[in-house]
Amino acid sequence: MSQENMVVIVTGANRGIGLAICQLILKNNQNVKLYAASRAGADLGLKSAGSGSVKYPSLDVTKSQDIKQLAEDIKREEGQISVLINNAGINTYPEHTPESVRKMLDVNYRGTYNMCKAFIPLLSETGRIVNMSSVGSQLKIYSKHNAARFRNTETYEDVEKIADDYMQAVKNKNELESGFGDKGQGYSVSKACVNAITAILARENPGLIINACCPGWVDTDMGGIMGKPPKEPIEGARIPVKLGFGDISGTTGRYWANPGIADKADGQVMAW
């Protein structure tokens, strides 16, 4: 896509993969106006390699007023955007309580959805959205019934019903019996919801390119929860940056990843 006068938003930009995404965007694109958003709105010291610029808005994706304010500011200052990369996310593992699970659903899934709904009206005709997902989103951990429910979602309300059913199973401590896999799958459920809404939004907005992706197992605070990750953040940034800026032949509504979580290529369409 054309790199002239591009306006790009990256959420969760203050560290890890989000920061690496920003660095790679600025390295590869000379004229981008980058909004590197984080809850603190911290100055990250990022520099454009050309005539572009960087701003650091404060954004908590669980707060509707934050999202509304950013959309209003960008509409007033820029008119439209070119790329939205929804990177903000959390993983509360090993904590597994109704409160921690709700927090993951609110940030990873609902925050992503609400950002999409707010900024789709501001996207250019060739605009793109990239939603960060995870290998944990793959449906093999669920019962056949729940896997089919995810595959067959047609509306946001369908996805929300699955999320609500999962929350109820967590409260009742019967996730396995309810077809959501063993306990501790809150992060995976939130990312399966991301994949589902990505497909729904792509169908609802056929002129746009909207995809989800897994960056692989990356050496970040979140990635290190389960051991020593094999990939550096800049390597994890390759797939989302490709989906935001590269030639993907108009592919939309799909989940992208590498065959292995340690693989360092720039991704391909995968079943989830």
Residues labelled catalytic: 187
- Residue 105 tokens, joined: 């659903």
Instruction: Quote the strand ranges of the chain, DSSP E.
Output: 7-10, 33-36, 53-55, 81-86, 123-132, 209-213, 255-257, 268-270
Of the chain, the end-to-end C-alpha distance in Å amounts to 27
Check residue 92 and report its DSSP letter.
-
Of the candidates 120, 109, 46, 113, the residue with the CA atom closest to the CA atom of residue 82: 120
The CA distances from residue 163 to 75, 157, 159, 272, in Å, are 32, 10, 6, 17
Which backbone phi and psi does 271 adopt, to 5 degrees? -75, 145
* Residue owning tokens 């995976």: 188
- Residue 166 tokens, joined: 């999962």
Residues 6+ apart with CB under 8 A from 121: none
- Residue 107 tokens, joined: 């940030």
The CA distances from residue 180 to 18, 139, 155, in Å, are 29, 10, 20
Strands 123-132 and 209-213: parallel
* Residue owning tokens 């006068």: 5
- Whole-angstrom Cα distance, residue 143 to residue 26? 43
